[in-house]
């Protein structure tokens, strides 16, 4: 029996539903870090913060070299941590990069990223998940609309909405190459999905998700209510977004690749225990069981 109450049930009911968020969005104050009071208000209202060109050109170049190195290292790697496109053998994502790359481990602990996360979440943070998303030109497939928290809660056992993602663009993000789209304000509504989670669902969901996907009626209602936005900008731009913000991206049929680093910061006061859906938690590379705060890296 789960020791923590499931206040965000999903995949347990016959019909989809929507429930009101029961947790704060911003847990810290302007005195707790680099974000201003206005930036924290924007985060609270919209569920994301966008910083065009936060990383300089030279640093972007070095990070792209690391991405290229990891691509080569994993070219013939067919382990679970290397996800490939549904219709090809192209690498789609590489997970657990903060544990396998010293360069990226240093990056995720950088105050520019971890410091903002600590301020928003109001506590020390650890890395719940890290990955590279490669979206090659012409062949990069879409990521359908979803709330990360729905999966992290149901399949990873994350109790509360006290986590956020940081996406670092290492190529230009444009309106043409499948950039991230968000529904601002949707983070205050929890979309409850249908369908019991199959065993080892992650093996399929990371290529093409079927369970934990919001229904079209709920998406239509929330988009009509809040609209959609697509933050675009040069390589080195960074977006922070709430764990429950609905987001997705279309396929990339342009010639221009779109590669991003994704880091999930979770509060050390919000650590998972047991899954709220399936019998067992997803593997460590998807939901880390190493709760070491980033300031100890």
Instruction: Answer yes or no: is 6 within a domain.
Output: no
pLDDT at position 273 is: 86
Instruction: Answer yes or no: is 111 within a domain.
Output: yes
Q: Does the pLDDT of residue 104 top 80, yes or no?
A: yes
Instruction: Answer yes or no: is 18 within a domain.
Output: no
- Structural domain tally of the chain? 1
79 is in which domain, residue-wise?
25-291
**Domain of residue 48, CATH code:** 2.60.120.620
Question: Burial code of 200-212, b = ≥16 C-beta within 10 A, e = fewer?
Answer: ebbeebbeebebb
Q: Does the pLDDT of residue 270 top 70, yes or no?
A: yes
Closest CA to 159 of 6, 3, 1: 6
Instruction: Answer yes or no: is 15 within a domain.
Output: no
CA distance 206 to 200: 11
DSSP for 273-295 reads -S-SSSSSPPPTTTS------GG
CA distance 187 to 184: 7
pLDDT at position 39 is: 98
Q: Does the pLDDT of residue 203 top 60, yes or no?
A: no
Instruction: Answer yes or no: is 130 within a domain.
Output: yes
Q: What value does the mean pLDDT take over residues 101-127? A: 98
pLDDT tens, position by position, 45-90: 999 999 999 999 999 999 999 999 998 988 888 888 998 877 777 7
According to DSSP, residue 9 is labeled -
Give pTM, 2 decimals.
0.93
CA distance 161 to 163: 6
Instruction: Answer yes or no: is 137 within a domain.
Output: yes
pLDDT at position 3 is: 62
Instruction: Answer yes or no: is 3 within a domain.
Output: no
Instruction: Answer yes or no: is 206 within a domain.
Output: yes
Question: Rounded to an integer, what is the distance from CA 138 to the centroid of its chain?
Answer: 23
pLDDT tens, position by position, 225-252: 999 999 999 999 999 999 999 999 999 9
pLDDT tens, position by position, 10-37: 998 889 999 999 999 999 999 999 999 9
Q: What is the mean pLDDT of the chain?
A: 92
Instruction: For the sheet with 180-182, list strands across it.
Output: 143-146, 247-249, 180-182
């Amino acid at each position: 029996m789960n020791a923590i109450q499931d206040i965000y049930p999903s995949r347990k009911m016959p019909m989809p539903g929507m429930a009101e968020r029961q947790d704060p969005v911003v847990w810290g104050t302007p005195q707790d870090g680099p974000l201003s009071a206005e930036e924290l208000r924007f985060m609270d209202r919209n569920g994301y913060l966008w910083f065009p060109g936060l990383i300089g050109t030279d640093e972007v170049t070095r990070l792209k070299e690391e991405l290229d190195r990891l691509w080569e290292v994993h070219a013939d790697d067919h382990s679970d941590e290397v996800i490939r496109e549904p219709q090809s053998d192209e690498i789609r994502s590489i997970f657990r990069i903060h544990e396998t790359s010293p360069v990226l481990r240093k990056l995720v602990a950088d105050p520019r990223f971890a410091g903002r996360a600590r301020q928003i979440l109001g506590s020390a943070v650890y890395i719940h998940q890290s990955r590279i998303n490669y979206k090659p030109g012409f062949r990069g497939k879409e990521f359908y609309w979803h709330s990360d928290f729905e999966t992290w809660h149901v399949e990873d056992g994350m109790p509360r909405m006290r986590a956020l993602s940081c996406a670092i663009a290492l190529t230009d993000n444009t309106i043409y190459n499948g950039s991230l789209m968000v529904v601002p304000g949707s983070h205050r509504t929890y979309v409850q999905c249908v369908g019991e989670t199959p065993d080892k669902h992650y093996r399929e969901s990371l290529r093409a998700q079927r369970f934990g996907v919001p229904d079209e009626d709920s998406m239509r209602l929330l988009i009509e209510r809040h609209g959609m936005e697509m933050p675009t900008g040069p390589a080195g731009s960074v977006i922070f977004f709430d764990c429950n913000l609905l987001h997705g991206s279309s396929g990339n049929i342009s010639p221009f690749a779109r590669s991003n680093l994704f880091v999930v910061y979770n509060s050390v006061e919000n650590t998972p225990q047991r899954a709220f859906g399936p019998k067992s938690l997803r593997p460590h590379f998807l939901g880390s069981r190493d709760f070491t705060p980033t300031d100890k890296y």
